Amino acid sequence: MTEGKLVEWLAADGAAVQEGDIIYSLETDKTTNEIEAPASGVLRIAAATDETYDVGALIGHIE
């Protein structure tokens, strides 16, 4: 996999999230995956939905 489409944010910008919470949905050419928060904190969204991003691109971060 070299890229994926950000389908939907499942947590809002500024939301408090816990490690393991599902925060967004990512579609590849073969499947759609729900992605978990890697840490607890406040989610800051930096990317729009319905766009395709390269693996490793910054789409958001947790403060």
Phi/psi region, residue 28 (left: phi>0; alpha: psi -120 to 50; beta: rest), is: beta
What pTM, to 2 d.p., does this model score?
0.90
DSSP summary character for residue 53:
E
Q: Does the pLDDT at position 44 exceed 90?
A: yes
> Residue 36 CB: number of other CB atoms within 10 A?
13
Could you give all domains of the chain from N- to C-terminal order, each with its CATH number? 3-47 (2.40.50.100)
- pLDDT at site 1: 83
Q: Are 11 and 21 in contact (CB under 8 A)?
A: yes
Give the model confidence (pLDDT) of 3-40 as tens digits: 999 999 999 999 999 999 999 999 999 999 999 999 99
- Phi (first) and psi of residue 36, to 5 degrees: -90, 150
Q: Are 26 and 33 in contact (CB under 8 A)?
A: yes
